[in-house]
């Protein structure tokens, strides 16, 4: 790959020309990396709900044409000035959020919310010069989340690249660069259930199932899955979920149902839906005195969280988390090692594989609710 360093690379990319329209495989030009940037050859990528949400432009000002994608694995092709901890050939995971290692958040042991590289869905260009590294016939194509992995080559800020074990299978660990790590970390790093405790998981999509996986790894005795779709229940058993609650089956609040099931409430809960009602239920279903509820889902901008102050005064704890409290560069390599050491099971999250030329099938699978994660092979 070194013979392309410093040159414009022409490659295939799946371009979203309009909101909600099928992606089109185009030949794009990918400029060389600038200061503190790396150019990656993407080997595998996968589709996340975030890609679909912004592709549909729900509640957002359209920013098209655009190259989506942010869950992926790849190999460093070349590096820009100032990059010292990566070199061509390194195996990496690009990440939608970053770690500059210089700001107060990055230097804090309690935060992973980098001031410089915090998620920004509105930015369609690189930080260094406000320009895009993608173009077609001289016309710029917008970036997405600083990653744009639906391209055979992409340019990413160094702070959004995690170097990983070169022995890790890239077709598996690519799913660790977003949703799975978010749910896993929400349980392991924030909720922190003790062995033998009970955990309620609200929402049994990929993120919720990753949270359940974290509860399983922690040794939880009861993992209660809460979801409005009973079709998800059988699949969730593979992730350690032991009991299920469908709020539609009851004429009373689900938090009351769970409290009755567990002699006063669960020890921990993790909310992974974005529904404000689910957030309230997740908080109010934990046991007083020691219960901890963790919010992961992103609510609508006009939502407000309402609960009686006595729920807090009675020593229930409410927490939020971003990317499972993982610092991308520092912590993701250890998550990969969990998989390599067979502590974390990743294969069961992967339900489909498609070739790059069939990328729109991945959207169809997700929109129909048929997939957890669909892996896209960039060589096909």
State the pLDDT at residue 380: 64
Neighbours of 313 (CB within 10 A): 9
Tens-digit pLDDT profile for the chain (380 aa)? 468 999 999 999 999 999 999 999 999 999 999 999 999 999 999 999 999 999 998 766 678 999 999 999 999 999 999 999 999 999 999 999 999 999 999 999 999 999 999 999 889 999 999 999 999 999 999 999 999 999 999 999 999 999 999 999 999 999 999 999 999 999 999 999 999 999 999 999 999 999 999 999 999 999 999 999 999 999 999 999 999 999 999 999 999 999 999 999 999 999 999 999 999 999 999 999 999 999 999 898 889 999 999 999 999 999 999 999 999 999 999 999 999 999 999 999 999 999 999 999 999 999 998 999 999 999 86
pLDDT digits (tens, 9 = 90+) for 132-145: 999 999 999 999 99
State the pLDDT at residue 337: 98
State the pLDDT at residue 302: 87
Query: Where is 331: in which H helix or E strand?
Result: helix 328-340
State the pLDDT at residue 2: 60
User: What are the φ/ψ torsions at residue 146 (nearest 5 degrees)?
Assistant: 70, 10
pLDDT digits (tens, 9 = 90+) for 15-26: 999 999 999 999
State the pLDDT at residue 62: 72
Task: Kindly write down the DSSP assignment for every residue of 205-219, as one continuous string.
Answer: SHHHHHHHHHHHHHT
Q: Give dist(CA 156, CA 40) in Å, integer.
A: 8
**What is the token pair recorded at 204?**
């049994």
Q: Give dist(CA 172, CA 170) in Å, integer.
A: 5
Task: Cite the active site residues.
Answer: 48-50, 70-71, 100, 103, 106, 114, 118, 178, 373
The three-class DSSP label of residue 35 is coil
Q: Which of 181, 163, 160 is nearest to 46 (CA)?
A: 181
């Amino acid at each position: 790959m070194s013979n392309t360093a410093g040159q414009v690379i022409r490659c295939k990319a799946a371009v979203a020309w309009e909101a909600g329209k099928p992606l089109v495989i185009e030949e794009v030009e990918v400029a060389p990396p600038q200061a503190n940037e790396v150019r990656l050859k993407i080997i595998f990528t996968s589709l996340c709900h975030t890609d679909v949400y912004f592709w549909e432009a729900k509640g957002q000002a359209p920013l098209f044409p655009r190259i989506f994608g942010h869950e992926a694995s790849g190999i460093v092709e070349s590096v820009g000035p100032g990059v010292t901890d990566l070199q061509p050939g390194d195996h990496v995971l690009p990440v939608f959020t970053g770690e500059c290692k210089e700001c107060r958040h990055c230097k804090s042991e309690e935060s992973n919310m980098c001031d410089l590289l915090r998620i920004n869905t509105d930015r369609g260009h690189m930080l260094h010069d406000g320009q895009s590294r993608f173009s077609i016939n001289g016309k710029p194509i917008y970036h997405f989340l600083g990653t744009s992995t639906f391209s055979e080559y992409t340019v990413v800020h160094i702070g959004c690249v995690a170097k990983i074990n070169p022995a890790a299978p890239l077709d598996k660990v690519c799913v660790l660069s977003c949703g799975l790590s978010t749910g896993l970390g929400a349980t392991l790093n924030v909720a922190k259930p003790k062995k033998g405790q009970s955990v309620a998981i609200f929402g049994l999509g990929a993120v919720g199932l990753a949270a359940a996986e974290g509860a399983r790894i922690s040794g939880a005795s009861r993992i209660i899955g809460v979801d409005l779709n009973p079709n998800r229940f059988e699949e969730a058993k593979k992730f350690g979920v032991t009991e299920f609650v469908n709020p539609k089956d009851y004429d009373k609040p689900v938090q009351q149902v769970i409290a009755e099931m567990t002699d006063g409430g669960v020890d921990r809960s993790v909310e992974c839906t974005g529904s404000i009602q689910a957030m309230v239920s997740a908080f109010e279903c934990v046991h007083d005195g020691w219960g901890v509820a963790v919010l992961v889902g992103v609510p609508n901008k006009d939502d407000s969280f309402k609960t009686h102050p006595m729920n807090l005064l009675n020593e229930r704890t409410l927490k939020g988390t971003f990317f499972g409290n993982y610092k991308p560069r520092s912590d993701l390599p250890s998550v990969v090692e969990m998989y390599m050491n067979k502590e974390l099971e990743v294969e069961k999250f992967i339900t489909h594989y498609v070739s790059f030329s069939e990328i729109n099938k991945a959207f169809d699978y997700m929109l129909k609710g048929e997939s957890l994660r669909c892996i896209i092979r960039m060589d096909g």
